[in-house]
Structure 1
Amino acid sequence: MFAVAACTALASFSALAAGNVLRVSAIPDEAPTELQRKFKPLGDYLSQETGMKVVFTPVSDYAAVVESLATGKLDLAWLGGFTYVQAKLRTNGTAKPIVQRAEDAVFTSRFVTADPSIQSLQDLKGKTFAFGAPSSTSGSLMPRYFLQQAGINPEQDFKNVAYSGAHDATVAFVAAGKADAGVLNSSVWDKLVETGKVDPDKVHVFASTPEYYDYNWTVRGDLDPELTKKLTEAFLKLDPANPEHKAIMDLQRASKFIPTEPQNYEGIEAAAKSAGLLK
């Protein structure tokens, strides 16, 4: 039976370390209640496929997910590309990405504003700007990298730089006038528009990044290989032609899941080093 633990304390993981329990978490790139809602049907499915009790525990920051994978308090985690790179380095290369959505192989970020005078990246100079979380691939690292490629240094060229903490929060910042512009991932932007949580006539996209690899599901390096295989196969056999599977995939905003590998994230690691975020 699927269980969702609402407690955010990482200490709760240790109590679940023994027994037939699959311990799962995700980077907090959206509100904890939204992450739980999106995960529940997937958790039910993974429980059926593995025969294990699945416990999802949201955490307060990105670093907590990385540290919990490294210390064996998590078995499986939903990571952004940069967070995976951090987990790889923290675990001496043992953390293993197993699958990603097809969409994650061609991911983009969207620059948004409510200011009609901002029509290009160059128009951001002298403006206030909001990134997401500092460790977010699509809300911070890759947009920053592409801004630099366009000759823009955020700390020098923007009037002020803020970090909202999450993609949906960035849109709220821009809509409320707390920032002249901001950036978030394309998947969350599309969802906010579809659900009516943002009015694209008021807050609109004025630029997008080139494509890059992003999110994946990663297992801790010493997870039982048979369990890793079961989890990988479970994701790969999700079929949108199956109504139950489609409901799971719609919440994950996935057309299908595909295998992934560490080499896919070498570009992100290079971008992080270029930005001075990794030694």
Structure 2
Amino acid sequence: MRYFSKFVAVALTLASATSAHAETLTLGSVNDDIRKHIERFTPLAQYLEQELADDGVTNVEISVLPNSQAMAEALRQGDVDLYFDSPLVATRVARLADAVPFLRRWKNGEASYHSVIVVPTDSEMESIEDLRGAVIGFQEPDSTSGYLLPVSLLLEAGLPLQHMRQDHQQPDEDSVGYVFTGDDRNTALALVRGTIDAGATDNQGFEALQVAQPDRFRALARSIEVPRQIVVRSAELDETLGSAISSTLRSMTDSPEGIQVMASFHNTTRFDDFPRGIEGTFGPIHTILDEIRENSLM
């Protein structure tokens, strides 16, 4: 275990070989479940260490940091080389760290996804504007599909948001009240119990809800499509090594071992480039983040 200044990181050293040109590569994640994320990242770290040996990589480490600010600092200083997260959260961190969107990561066979605002089928609400005076459940502030994307939908519709900090608190009649549920499962449970009027999830979460509760819920609004996950590269990472890493990750689909390692890495199915390029992919995301920040919701 090692410690960065002003925050705690966990590092797992996967090899002890030394060389005059030894290069340590550090993979980063933000989460409070350190053990789970070390287990999740270990097969990928071992694979990269093996595949990048000829490029001078002798050690691969895993750093699990407690929050986005800590990750931004680690990327800026070069203490983390590659950071994996959902697109809006990772883009926000990349901006803070002057880091670079690197690759798209497919998850569960999906290259992209979107957020869905869900209401009961028998709700009188027919459009997003009807959420005035209602309460919506978000997952957590660092969730792309469970907070940032649905918040952007509400702001685009001109709806003020009001954080409900007490049970049974009601929002102003012109505002949309919101609570944090913690995760998709709790959002679905609150919808079923009727303690919230609407909930935010992603398209897969909505499909799962429809399977579990047929004909009980419907989509009120949908966000834009964004990459399912992204990899961010520290600006401090050597360009030549960065190219080698990119080639290695993108070619993992070419071997049974690579496919197996990706599957163990949170159901990854592919790494590839952004089809619309950096500007085409992240221009709309930057606009969303700017709007959320200007409204002090991030």
State whether TM-score is above 0.5. Answer: yes
- Report the equivalent of 1:185: 202
- Report the equivalent of 2:285: 268
More strand by share: 2
Long gaps (5+) in structure 1: none
Q: Equivalent residues in 2 for 1:1-279 (5 A)?
A: 10-12=7-9, 20-28=23-31, 35-51=37-53, 52-91=58-97, 93=98, 95-101=99-105, 106-113=112-119, 116-117=122-123, 121-155=128-162, 157=174, 160-167=177-184, 170-171=187-188, 173-174=190-191, 179-186=196-203, 189=205, 193=208, 199-201=212-214, 204=217, 206=219, 207-213=221-227, 215-239=229-253, 242-250=255-263, 251-260=265-274, 262-263=278-279, 264-277=281-294
State, as a whole percentage, how many aligned pairs show the same letter: 21
Amino acid in the other structure paired with 1:137 = T
How far is the alpha carbon of 1:277 from its aligned partner?
4.3
Long gaps (5+) in structure 2: 163-171
Supply the distance in 1 between the matched residues of 2:193 and 2:66 (Cα, whole angstroms).
24
Sort the Cα spacing of 1:230 and 1:152 in 2 relative to 1 into closer, same or farther, 3 A.
same
Sort the Cα spacing of 1:71 and 1:147 in 2 relative to 1 into closer, same or farther, 3 A.
same
Deviates more, 1:73-82 or 1:265-274: 73-82
Amino acid in the other structure paired with 1:228 = G
Supply the distance in 2 between the matched residues of 1:59 and 1:172 (Cα, whole angstroms).
29
Sort the Cα spacing of 1:148 and 1:66 in 2 relative to 1 into closer, same or farther, 3 A.
same
Supply the distance in 2 between the matched residues of 1:88 and 1:35 (Cα, whole angstroms).
20
Aligned partners of 2:11 and 2:63 also within 8 Å: no
Aligned partners of 1:100 and 1:216 also within 8 Å: yes
Larger Rg: 2
Supply the distance in 2 between the matched residues of 1:199 and 1:233 (Cα, whole angstroms).
41
For normalisation by structure 2, the TM-score amounts to 0.69
How far is the alpha carbon of 1:41 from its aligned partner?
2.7
For normalisation by structure 1, the TM-score amounts to 0.73
Supply the distance in 2 between the matched residues of 1:253 and 1:14 (Cα, whole angstroms).
23
Amino acid in the other structure paired with 2:90 = Y
Between Structure 1 and Structure 2, how many residues are aligned? 266
Aligned partners of 2:113 and 2:227 also within 8 Å: yes
How far is the alpha carbon of 1:268 from its aligned partner?
0.9
Query: Could you say what secondary structure the match of 1:57 adopts?
Result: strand
